[in-house]
Structure 1
Amino acid sequence: MSDATSSINVLGPSLTLSSSDRLTANLENLSLSSSLGTPDDTPKFVQLDPSCYCIHCKQVLRDAFQLACGHHVCRQCLDPLFGNQELKLCTFDDCGFQISKTQVFPDNFKRREVSKQKVYCKFRTRGCEAILAWKDLPNHIQNCEFAVLPCIRASEGCSAVLSRDEYESHITQQCDYLPVTCNNCQLITLKGRFQTHIEKECPKVMISCPFSCGTANFLREQLDAHTENCPKKPALCSFSSIGCEFKGPPEAVRHHEKTDSESHLLLLSKFTYVMERRNAEITAELSDLKKEKDKWQQHAMKLEGECSALKKENSASKKSIKELKLMIASHGERVTILDRKLEDKASKATADTLVREVNAIKETSQAISARMTNLERAGPVVGETFGPGQLNSKLRHLDKQTSLHDVRLAELDLRFQILETANYNGVLMWKIRDYTRRRQEAVNGRTLSLFSQPFYTGRHGYKMCGRVYLNGDGMGKETHLSFFFVLMKGDYDALLPWPFKQRVSLILKDQENRTQDLCDTFTPNASSNSFKRPETEMNVASGVPKFIAHNRLEMPTYVQDDTIYLMIKVDTSNLPNHPNP
C-alpha cells in the first residue's frame, strides 16, 4: 500500500483565516458585554460591596432595578419577588416597607456601580495577576497572555483547549478535524481518520487478494470483480442448509463432500427427524382448527334458528297490542295537555291543579302496572289466542311505555322546580355546592363551565342566567374564577326594548363576616352582540375573566362547607314598564 503521509493535502482555501482573525473569532466567544447591562459571565470578585447583592436571589445584581424602599433586585427576580401580588411588604433586614410593582424602575447608577466592582482575571489559575473593574474584563480577556482558547473547530467535535503559542500550530497542522484531501482519490476527509481511509476505504489504493490467490496487486475498487472469479474464494458445503459449517476453496469443499459422508448422513438424519416432528405438530394443529371450525358452525346454526323464532314471535305480537297502544295514546294526550298548561303557568292555583293532574297520571300508570301484573300471574284467559311468548312481549312493551311516562313525569317535576325557584326581580342567588370536586372536574377538562337557573327582570321581562368557569377562562384560565352574565331567549323578547342597557353587578358573597362581598359592576355596551336581542337560545356571555384569584377565593371568607355563593343583580330602577300579557 502507498504511504499515507504522502497522500495528504491540507485544504488551503477552507482555512484562509489569518492568525489574528482566528484568535479574535475564539476570543469573541469568551467576551462579555460592557454596556450598562450586566455582563453574562460571573467572575471571582476581589471583595463585592454588600449593596451590590440582590435581596431576592442573594447573588450579584444583574441589570439592577430599585424598589420603592431603596433596595435592589435583579431584572429576572422581579416576577418571582412579587408573584401574583401588586403590593407586598419588603422583608429584607426587617425593612417592612410596602413596595409596589408599579413603582419599580431601572437604576443605572447602581448598574454602573456594580460594573466597577473589582474582579480577578478568569485565567488567574494560569498565572494572570490582573485585578480590574468588571466592565473592563472583556477587553482584558481578549489580550490576556495567559488565556486558553477552544479550537476553532469545537462545534465540529474538537475538544482541544490551547494556549496562544499552541493555537496556530494546532489549527493548521495537528487538529484531528482539519479537512484534508487524499491525493489518491481526491476525497476530502478529516485528518484524524485519514489513516483509516487509506487502510480500509480509499478505492485508488493498491491491495492484494484477501484470499492469497497469488494474483498481482490491484486497486481496491477492483476487489469485487476479482472476488467473483478468484480461484481461492471460499465456498460453502452443499449440505450447509442442514447444518454443515465447512467452507473453503472450491477444491477443498469438493474433497470435504467426498470424504465426510458420515457426518453429512448424521446431519440429514437429524434434519429429517426435526421435520417429521414439525409436520406432526402442524397436522395436530390443523385437526384442532377443524374441530373449532365445526363447533362454531354448529353455534352459528343454533343462533340462526333462535333468530328465526324471535322474528316469528315479534311478527305475531304486533297483532295483539292495539288496545295497549290506545291506552298509551290516551296517556300521551293527557301529558301533552298538562305540558301546555305548564307553559302557560301564571298562578299558584294553576300550579296546584297541574300537580293534581300529574298525580292522577301517576296513579293511572300504577293501576295499569298492577293490572298487567295480575294478567301475568293469572296466565292466558279463555277465548284469547295469546301464547306465553306473545304475552311476555306485550308486557315488555307496556313496561317500556310506562318507563317513558315516568321520564316525562320527571321532566315535568324538574320544570316545576325551575318555575318555583325562578326570580322575577332581577336578582340571582346562586349556590354552588361541592366546589372542590367541581373545580377539579374543570381542571381535568370534564366540565369547563356551569350555568345557573334562569332569572328575570319581571314576569314578562328579560330572561337571564349566570355562567361560571371555576378554573378560569381566557386571561383568567388556571389562575382565576371567571364570572359572566348571559342574556337568554325569552318568551316576550318581541315586546322588550333592545339592546339591553341595564347595569349589571357580579357579586361573590362573604360567608364569614358578611362585610367583604366582592363586587364588579358594568354597564352593557350597546354595540356588543352580547346585549342584542337573542337569535339563539342564549347570547355570548359577558363578564369578568379574572373575577377573583384562586388563592384568594379558596379562603374561609368565601368558601365554607365546600360551598360558594354567587349573586347577579340587574338594575331595574330605570326599566320601562313590562308589557302586559
Structure 2
Amino acid sequence: MSDEPTTNFTASFVIPDEDPSFKHIPSKYYCSGCKKLLRHAFQTVCGHHVCETCKDELKECPVGDNDCKLSASLLEESESFIERFDTGIKRELSRLTVFCPFRHRGCAQECQWRHLQIHSENCEYGIFPCPYVKYGCEFKEIPRNKIIEHANKCKFHPERKVECRFGCGLEVKVKDLESHETECKNVHINCPLEDLGCTKISDVASREKVEEHIRSQNAFHFGLVSDSFGEVNDCVEVLTKDLIAVSETVEKLKDEIKKKDEIILRLQEEIANNRQDARNSNNNPDSFNSQEKSNSSGSFHSLEVNFGLLRVKFDEMEVRLESLEKSSYNGVLMWKIVDYMQKKRDAKTKKASTIYSPPFYSTRFGYKMCARAYLNGDGAGKDTHFSLYFVIMKGDFDHLLKWPFQQKITLSLLDMSGNGVHVSDTFRPDPNSKSFKKPTSDLNVASGCPQFIPIDLLENPSNGYLKDNQLLIKVSIDTSGLKDP
C-alpha cells in the first residue's frame, strides 16, 4: 500500500478511540499531564502539549519544570495557560508508521496511521462474520480468503431448504423460516387472553389447538374482556377522583394567595404612608417612631415569608396536577416538545442540555418510566443529531415488580404531515445493564440512541417532524405478560 500523501486525506482523518501498534512513536506525542496519546493536542504558553481533558484543570506547568519559561510575567500577559489548539500534532500522528492489526495472523504490512482503516478493510488476513449470522450461523471469525467458500456451503444459506423444526413436514427456505413459523400449525403458543385469566388450555399448545380453543370459548373470552374493561373503568374513576381533589386544592391555594396578596398590598401602602409622614414632620425619616416602624416591617416580612411558602406549595401542586394529567398507564407515552427552537438554543449554550418527559407507567401499579431528549445531541451525536433515550424511574411499587426490566422498547419521532414516515428504533433491554436494574435512585442511567435522527433531517421543512415549532415523541413498551401485582 502506498504511503504517499493523498489530497485532503489528513484533514479528514479522524483519530480512532483505540491506539494502533506503532512501529516507533516519539514521547512528544503523549500528553505531558496524563501521559496518554495526544488525540486533541493543546499547546501551553510554555510550549508543552496536553490533551483536552487535562487542559481544563491546568494551573501550572504540566511537567513541573523549575526552569520552565512559564514565568509569572508570562502568565500575567496571558489570559489562559493554553496558547492554542495544535493541529500539527494530529497531522504528524496521522503520518506515523503502524503495523496491521492482523499482524498476529501473518500480515507483515506497515502503513501510515491515516491509511490503516483502508488497509484493514481489505487485508487478506482480516476476519469477518458469516454473512448469514442473522439466520443462525455461529461462525463469526472467518478469514477473508475463506468467507466465500464458507458462505456457499453454509447450512444457513437463505436459499437452502430445510425441514420445519416443528414437524409439520414442509421444506422451507432458510430465509422464509421466520414467516413460516408465524403460520405453522405445529408451533406452540399461548392463548391470547391468558393474561386476562384464561386457564382453559395448557400453558402452551399447538397453534391449531389454540385456534380451536378460541372458536369454542367465545362466550368465556367475552366475559374476560368485559371484566378487564371493568377494571380499567375502576382505574379511570380513581384517577378522576385524584384529579378533582388536586384541582380543588389548587383552587383553595389560589384563593389564599389572593387574600395574602391583598394584605401585603395594604401593608406596603401603610408603610409608604408612614414613611412619608415622617419625612413631612421634620424632613428626617430617622425620626419616625422606631417601634411602629419595627412592628410594621416585622409584620410585612412575616407575610412575605408566608406568601413565599404558599407560592412554593402552589407550584408543587401545579406540577403534580400536570403530571397526573399527562401520565398514561398502558405502556405508551405521547410527548409533545413545544418551543423547540428555544429549547435547542438552551441546549447549545448548555443552559439546559437535556429535557425529560412526564412519567408514564406500564400498568396502574407497574414500572415507572420517562423519556430523555438532547435537542443538540449527546455523545456521538453531539451538535449533529437529535438524541433520544428511555429511562427507568424509581416507582412506588418496585418491590412487587420483576427485575431486571425485560420489555421490548420502541422510540419514535412521529411524522405530523400525515404521510406516516415515522422514525423509530426498537431494542430489547440488556439484562446486565444497570439501566434496567431495580432503581436505587430517582432515575436509572438512560439507554437509547445518541444518533436517533440528524438535526438537518429533523428540521427540514419538507419533512413533517417539526410542525408549529413542536415535536411529537412516542415511546412504547411491549406489555405482553405484564400484570398489576
Give the TM-score normalised by structure 2: 0.45
Which structure has the highest helix share of the two? Answer: 1
> Considering only CA atoms, is the larger Rg found in Structure 1 or Structure 2?
1
